[in-house]
Amino acid sequence: MGDREIDVIDSVDDFPDGGGKESGDGIPLLFPYPNRIRGGKFQWEGKEYAVPSDLASYNADNAIHGFCLDRAWRVIEQSEQHVVGQFQLSVDAPDRLKLWPADFVINVEYFVRGSSLRSRITVKNPSQSTLPWGFGTHTYFRLPLRDTSSPDQCIVQVPVGQERVLIDCLPTGEVRAVSEEKDLRDGEYFGQLTMDDAFCGVESQDGEVHCSVVDEKAGITVVQRCPDEFGEIVVYTPPGRNAVCMEPYTCCTDAINMQQAGHEAGLRVLQPGEDHTTWVDIDVGAVVV
């Protein structure tokens, strides 16, 4: 920001060299589903699917965060302030092709503009079958934003008015008004938060959803922006870390099962040959009083 360098994204020091956990550092990309699938099992168009629980990106027998976390992406374009990564299931994880109803291609383009990190995400269905999908990001935002501040002086703001009732991190189908202790619409100090909660009832501004971290003492704010097709947000405070995740999802946890059970879950479907483009941006600026 200006002539100052600010670390916004949290990760272990050797993360660029392959250190750290795939889902625990930087900006994990969650596709073709964010969060969990109950028991790793679902049905699609009359066929049953089961995702093994022993893969690197799954735990507790519930498939979690998709197929793209723990395999390498291919860089297909790159310049000083721009890069495009591509992941195709049949190419980059062919052993997992049988685990999903269709092949997919996902391109993620990052480019830096001043103090902003822009991303454009395009999902394509190259197969002859329908492609059910959901996408999310799991960015770890570092706190505080300057060494002279403290995490407890940082405010987390997320515009959500409803929460999903969860049992063992899986939605029951019940949605209720957000409780007072979890209402982040006006912001809450990080020191008061212990969260791993799923929210809906997202409140947008001119079609955009804005989540933010404000470091009052440093006078710095980080805003994560995305279109309001991201109708679900998970807020997670990883234990023992000065970081917060504000995870925008296009669908809810276990959407492929929830939707088929009659709940509005946000699951998307691409027909053969179709594609869809969306975006998530991160802006760093001064606190506006």
What's 224's domain CATH number?
A: 2.70.98.10
Average pLDDT value for the chain: 93
Q: How many domains does the chain have?
A: 1
On the question of pLDDT at 8 being above 60, the answer is yes
Q: What is the pLDDT of residue 179?
A: 95
Q: What is the pLDDT of residue 62?
A: 64
Would 81 be classed as within a structural domain? yes
Residue linked to tokens 């807020």: 235
The larger pLDDT score, comparing residue 60 to residue 3, is at 3
Would 35 be classed as within a structural domain? yes
Beta bridge partners of 66: 31
What's phi and psi for 94, nearest 5 deg?
A: -60, -25
Q: What is the pLDDT of residue 19?
A: 79
Instruction: Give the DSSP letter string of 179-236.
Output: PGGG--TT-EEGGG---EEEEEEEPPBTTEEEEEEEETTTTEEEEEEEETT--EEEEE
- Mean pLDDT over 12-20 rounds to 81
**pLDDT tens, position by position, 225-236:** 999 999 999 999
Listed residue (232, 228, 187) closest to 206, CA to CA? 228
Determine the structural domain holding residue 78 and report its residue range.
Answer: 15-286
**pLDDT tens, position by position, 91-150:** 999 999 999 999 999 999 999 999 999 999 999 999 999 999 999 999 999 999 998 899
On the question of pLDDT at 90 being above 60, the answer is yes
Residue 280 to residues 2, 9, 51, 71: CA-CA distances in angstroms?
22, 15, 28, 22
Would 73 be classed as within a structural domain? yes
On the question of pLDDT at 156 being above 80, the answer is yes
Would 202 be classed as within a structural domain? yes
**How far is CA 149 from its chain centroid?**
27
Listed residue (228, 232, 274, 226) closest to 249, CA to CA? 232
**pLDDT tens, position by position, 220-269:** 999 999 999 999 999 999 999 999 999 999 999 999 999 999 999 999 99
- Mean pLDDT over 183-212 rounds to 97
CA angle in degrees (0–180, nearest 5) for 167-173-177:
90
- Give percent above pLDDT 90 in the chain: 84
The Cα diameter of the chain in Å comes to: 58
Tokens encoding 225: 């922006």
User: In one letter, which amino acid is 232?
Assistant: E
Listed residue (239, 228, 235) closest to 156, CA to CA? 235
Would 24 be classed as within a structural domain? yes
Tokens encoding 88: 């195709």
Tokens encoding 160: 């959500």
Listed residue (222, 218, 266, 275) closest to 246, CA to CA? 222
Would 103 be classed as within a structural domain? yes
Distance CA(18)–CA(228), nearest Å, equals 33
Residue linked to tokens 């189908």: 173
CB 196 within 8 A of CB 169: yes
- Mean pLDDT over 174-199 rounds to 96
Q: What is the pLDDT of residue 58?
A: 42
Would 5 be classed as within a structural domain? no
Residue linked to tokens 């970081």: 243
Beta bridge partners of 112: 117
**pLDDT tens, position by position, 57-68:** 444 456 789 999
Distance CA(134)–CA(265), nearest Å, equals 10
The larger pLDDT score, comparing residue 7 to residue 126, is at 126
On the question of pLDDT at 3 being above 70, the answer is no
Residue linked to tokens 């103090």: 115
Would 4 be classed as within a structural domain? no
Distance CA(39)–CA(31), nearest Å, equals 17
